[in-house]
Amino acid sequence: MPDPIKKTKPLTGYPFADPPDPEKWSKCIHCGMCLDACPTYQEEKLEPHSPRGRVHLIKAAGEGRISLNQGLFDPVFQCLDCRACETACPSGVEVGALIEEARGQLYQAMPPRGVKGRINRLFLRHFFPNPGRLHALGRLLRFYQQSGLQSLVRKTGILRLLPEHIRKMEAVLPPVPKRFSRQTLAEVTPALGEKRGRVAFLAGCVMDVLYAGINEATVRVLSRNGLEVAVPRGRFAAGPCKYMQGIGRPQKKWRNKILIRFCGRMWIPSLSMRLVAGRR
């Protein structure tokens, strides 16, 4: 995680563009119905890591009662952005949107520095937006896992020479599949039975390489529910990936590219596609 800026006056309020919308946080009635739906709260049982707690912290920062520091950073960035809480909320609080907007403020107030910052920028700017480079990296990771190199590296303790966040990511690295979803999914998967509509499905970046099976299963479910599924080819992953990490809103060129490709009567089901298309 980015280190807080040291020896500077703490920032209060939201001084940067695109701050969290007060109308969103004002809907929260603190009823707690979101708690059972939140996986991070169920795991940690800490109020700041619940949807209700996160909304309260985001509101407090917006009102200048707390500063943009690590105390706000941890709850906001540890949110999975799954939005399960939104289905349980009787007031319709857009927790996911608030989280994404708060991340943008925190990223600008506390930008990643040093080696971690350089690695972060390298992947977000040069790997995630480029499927070819990401696939090459995926093949290297698969070789690392299947050749026995991973076991050797772990036994020898070489990982201790790497930054802590790299060690943590290596420890939870899932098995890399033999083929990626961009390679296995057809550009158009027909609907099974009576056709009810047509949808666009974005394979994504990390999902495409590490969780291809989930993408494939999603397309099968959509198809069996009577939907024709179109999987766009090209570089569509950079905008939402940066946005959900708090680096900024999707660039207009990415939004326009998708709208031009998929204009007309097509439903865009995935969160990533909605973010790039500007559909909040």
Q: What domains can be seen in the chain, in order of their start residue?
A: 22-109 (1.10.1060.10), 114-171 (no CATH), 181-276 (no CATH)
With a pLDDT cut of 70, the percent of the chain lying above it is: 79
Residue whose structure tokens are 């007060």: 22
Alpha-carbon distance 144 to 43, whole Å?
31
pLDDT tens digits, one per residue of 20-30 = 999 999 999 99
User: From the centroid of its chain, how far is CA 123?
Assistant: 14
DSSP secondary structure code for residue 160 in this structure: G
Q: Which residues of the chain have pLDDT under 70?
A: 1-12, 234-280
Alpha-carbon distance 196 to 219, whole Å?
15
pLDDT tens digits, one per residue of 193-210 = 999 988 888 888 888 999
